[in-house]
Amino acid sequence: MIKLPAKYKSILDTKETEHAIVAIKDFFQLALSTELNLTRVTAPLFVGAGTGINDDLNGVERPVTFPVKSLNEQKMEIVQSLAKWKRLKVTDLKLDPGFGIYTDMNALRPDEDLDPIHSIYVDQWDWCIAIDPLDRNVYFLHEIVKKVYRCIQRTEFFLYDRYPKIKPILPKEIKILYADDLQKLYPKLTPKEREDKVTKEYGAVFITGIGGKLPDGSIHDGRAPDYDDWITESGDGHRGLNGDILVWNPVLDSAFELSSMGIRVSPESLKAQLEERGCPERAKFEFHSKLLKGELTQTLGGGIGQSRLCMFLLRKAHIGETQVSVWTDEIKKDCKKRGIVLL
């Protein structure tokens, strides 16, 4: 469980924080789009219910739904993420391998448990690139991971150049690790404890293979079965073509997830993952049907939390310091007592 620091004082005041948030977002998205050859596109706030396009996350979270009067009360869902929508967009644009899209994604996750790093409002840069089927391997994934990490590093220096009190702390290189190796090394630790241990040691890590079964039958963390490929053999004795970027957060004394990404499912891996999760009926949905017919471009994509990135780079203790959301009276009272100013 993430705990707020006993002693805390924000480096920047509220006005400076607001200015810095704009600067971070402007700089980072330009760096990312340049590094990965991404074109900005406009994203939907909602999608049709029952199409299979919305991300169902771990399969238990309830999307916000509403009927549309002009469409004979057809139900729409506020997006929980754009994991599948992006692949449809890349396919529609007929992008060549090595080129992709990015967008501002704003989502609602009403079932989220509120704490210093979780809010019901989610804002992130969603991105997706077309790839050659021959690049469906963990080596290509890790090259993209390193590029994304370089963008985070550059943004940290950019911020330091403007606000010298915010010293750079990210290591020069990101350490590539595997979830199944971590389970074998630390079988008595929980996945969260493993993340804390290795992230504190290396400063920044990418944990590969999240969602598939580990050697002991457990999973490192939940992943939906219909976007990331977590079942395919990676080619180096491991399984899974996805993962998370984690950095060590000294303010919260904890591992801190900034990004999740992965090579997207092929028709074969989608079918296998739907079977493993016991939901083969999803194959009838519009998105899944197109994918199984081979009508969708092979892609690699991910999301990078905007408020999360700003929170980490500005050394904030609570995500409510970098976004506007709703909080319980208890959380607001606790933050006020600790000198944490929620936006």
Residues annotated as catalytic are 55, 109, 124, 244, 257, 260
State in Å, rounded, how far the first CA of the chain is from the last one.
23
Residue 203: how many CB atoms within 10 A of its CB?
A: 18
Pairing of β 299-305 and β 74-78: unpaired
Residue 126 CA, chain-centre distance (Å), reads: 8
Bridge partners (DSSP) of residue 101 are: 39, 128
Question: Is residue 218 packed enough to be buried (19+ CB in 10 Å), middle (13-18) or exposed (0-12)?
Answer: exposed
The DSSP output letter for 322 is T
Where are the alpha helices (H) located in the chain, listed in sequence order?
14-36, 83-93, 138-162, 179-185, 191-202, 267-276, 286-292, 306-313, 329-337
Report yes or no: 106 and 82 within 8 Å, Cβ to Cβ: no
CA geometry: angle 54, 98, 282, nearest 5 deg:
25
